[in-house]
Amino acid sequence: MSLKIKNVEFLHGENGLSKGDILIENGKIVGLNNEKEQTSFVPEREIDGENCLALPGLVNCHTHAGMVYTRGYADDKPLMTWLEDYIWPLEARITPEDIYWGTLLAISEMLASGTTTFTDMYFAMDKAGEAVEQSGIRAVLTWGLIGLQDNAIAQLEKTVDFAREWRGKANGRISTMLAPHAPYTCPPSFMDKVLQNAGQNNLPIHIHLAETREEMEQMEKEYGKSPVKWAFDIGVFEHKTLAAHCVHLNEEDIDILKEKQVGVAYNPQSNMKLASGVAPIVKLLEKGINVGFGTDGPGSNNSLDMFTEMKMGSFLQKVISKKSQNLPAGTVINLATTGGAEIIGLGSEIGSLQKGKKADIILLNLDKPHLTPVFDPLAHVVYSCRGSDVQTTIVDGSILYHKGEFYSLDVEKVKWEIRKRTERLTKSKK
């Protein structure tokens, strides 16, 4: 489909704003405010962008979409109580079909709040892949691996098969990685096999790393080193790596992340809710380390809204450093778009509004009471906007959400399925 977004203010570069038309054809941006191109361009559809701000679609670098069934299920519990008494017993009852419907619900929330790409780590990822295909969103899918399970090797083989089969599906909207869950659940002997398969199949690594103090203490006790140093020593970072959380880092850890060009997924709200701590994002950026935002799963955050993630993520860095200028709005938007695209390996395709890139675009309606007046549109995006201010979400040049209407999903049916399935999953705690 060819599409023109006319008379719209749009972001180019980290802080640059222009006003004009965005021209889209065959899933790509073919023009940005170019009069010569506009004279010969006859779109199949036009969207009036008056009072809107166009941004690259937001990139959620780390989540567990199928965990929507745990949203609000066991809030305000200590971490291990939350996991052992509530989350793990419920997850033991989740079926592949539950994952399909749960992922569709998560996708609907993400599309309505401006996320056009998400990186998922969960299980039954073939069903998540079906949800991605149906919905039109872009995704990096990773099947979480626990090396301590009796069937760990069989699961690894299944995961590698999945990664090879689904890579490039959905008209190229699906990418895949290998996802060993964390250092404390994947011993070195198992990691050796994961990394061997990653190398043989050219698959990046997605892993939780340095999330809690308990993890740090356990790794120090068992291996005499930090999780980052452990990962470095066993060769994880010889592969392109996306490390989620990275809350507890020492200077050596940061130097390793820089040297090995590890991408870090910053999950501020999940880390706050579970009292894990605050990642040293300002220091990472000063070192030149690539950072993106993630929401983590709906169970440990309750929301997949990247706008609240951006706002809280900025505020946290300001308060812990006692410097209000830290992590300013333009930088935050860059992390949620270009930065996220880079660390998931899609920087050449998405993450910015440029001719030739994929047309993953969102329109924010700035004509709202809480967004009036507008002195600085970029500051508004981070400090004032909400996910509900998203008017339009476009992925691969296709309109997936516009003015409250979903174009690829029957959201009422999805919600009905979730309510029915949640009743079964939560009928007993154990």
Is residue 48 located within the same domain as residue 187?
no
CA distance 410 to 417: 11
pLDDT for res 430:
46
pLDDT confidence of 429, banded at 50, 70, 90? low
Kindly list the distances between the CA atom of residue 291 and the CA atoms of 14, 53, 257, 287, in Å, as whole numbers in the listed order.
14, 24, 11, 11
Residue 273 lies in a domain: yes
User: Does the pLDDT of residue 278 top 60, yes or no?
Assistant: yes
Residue 142 lies in a domain: yes
pLDDT for res 84:
85
Q: Which two tokens stand for residue 390?
A: 């998203």
* Helix, strand or coil, per DSSP, at residue 3: strand
Give me the residue label for tokens 């065959």. Answer: 26
Q: Total domain count for the chain?
A: 2
DSSP secondary structure, 10-79, as one string: EEETTTEEEEEEEEEETTEEEEES-HHHHHT---SEEEE-TTEEEEEPEEEEEE-GGGGGGTTTSTT--H
CA neighbor of 344 nearest in space, from 123, 142, 105: 142
Is residue 52 located within the same domain as residue 122?
no
Q: Which two tokens stand for residue 278?
A: 């605050």
Is residue 79 located within the same domain as residue 146?
yes
Residue type, 309: E
Is residue 120 located within the same domain as residue 193?
yes
Is residue 305 located within the same domain as residue 370?
no
Residue 348 lies in a domain: no
Residues 413-422 as b/e (b if ≥16 CB within 10 A, e otherwise) read ebeebbeebb
Tens digits of residue pLDDT in 302-329: 999 999 999 999 999 999 999 999 999 9
User: Does the pLDDT of residue 24 top 70, yes or no?
Assistant: yes
**For the chain, how long is the longest CA-to-CA vector?**
68
Residue that is last in its domain, among 299, 318, 343: 343
Q: Which two tokens stand for residue 178?
A: 């290998």
pLDDT for res 41:
86
pLDDT confidence of 80, banded at 50, 70, 90? confident
Is residue 62 located within the same domain as residue 52?
no
User: Does the pLDDT of residue 16 top 90, yes or no?
Assistant: no
Q: Pick the range with the lowest mean pLDDT from 38-42, 282-286, 299-303.
A: 38-42
CA distance 60 to 75: 23
**In whole numbers, what is the pLDDT of the chain averaged over residues?**
95
Residue 429 lies in a domain: no
CATH code, domain with 302: 3.20.20.140
DSSP lists the bridge partners of residue 242 as 206, 263
CA distance 220 to 227: 8
CATH code, domain with 380: 2.30.40.10
Instruction: Read off φ and ψ for residue 178, nearest 5 degrees.
Output: -100, 140
In this prediction, residues 398-417 reach a mean pLDDT of: 98
In this prediction, residues 210-238 reach a mean pLDDT of: 96
Tens digits of residue pLDDT in 98-151: 999 999 999 999 999 999 999 999 999 999 999 999 999 999 999 999 999 999
What range does the domain containing 39 cover? 3-56+358-406
Residue 321 lies in a domain: yes
Sign of CA dihedral 167, 173, 177, 179: negative
Give me the residue label for tokens 């579970």. Answer: 274
Residue 34 lies in a domain: yes
Is residue 154 located within the same domain as residue 249?
yes
Q: Helices 188-201 and 152-166, interaxial angle, to 10°?
A: 20
pLDDT for res 354:
94
DSSP secondary structure, 225-293, as one string: S-HHHHHHHHTGGGS-EEEEE--S--HHHHHHHHHTT-EEEE-HHHHHHTT-----HHHHHHTT--EEE
Q: Which helix (H) or strand (E) holds 140?
A: strand 138-145
pTM above 0.85, yes or no: yes
Is residue 124 located within the same domain as residue 164?
yes
C-beta of residue 380 within 8 angstroms of C-beta of residue 389? no
Residue 426 lies in a domain: no
In this prediction, residues 217-245 reach a mean pLDDT of: 97
Residue that is last in its domain, among 343, 375, 392: 343
Is residue 66 located within the same domain as residue 39?
no
Is residue 154 located within the same domain as residue 7?
no
Residue that is last in its domain, among 319, 343, 367: 343
Is residue 212 located within the same domain as residue 245?
yes
Residue 263 lies in a domain: yes
Residue type, 322: K
Is residue 160 located within the same domain as residue 279?
yes
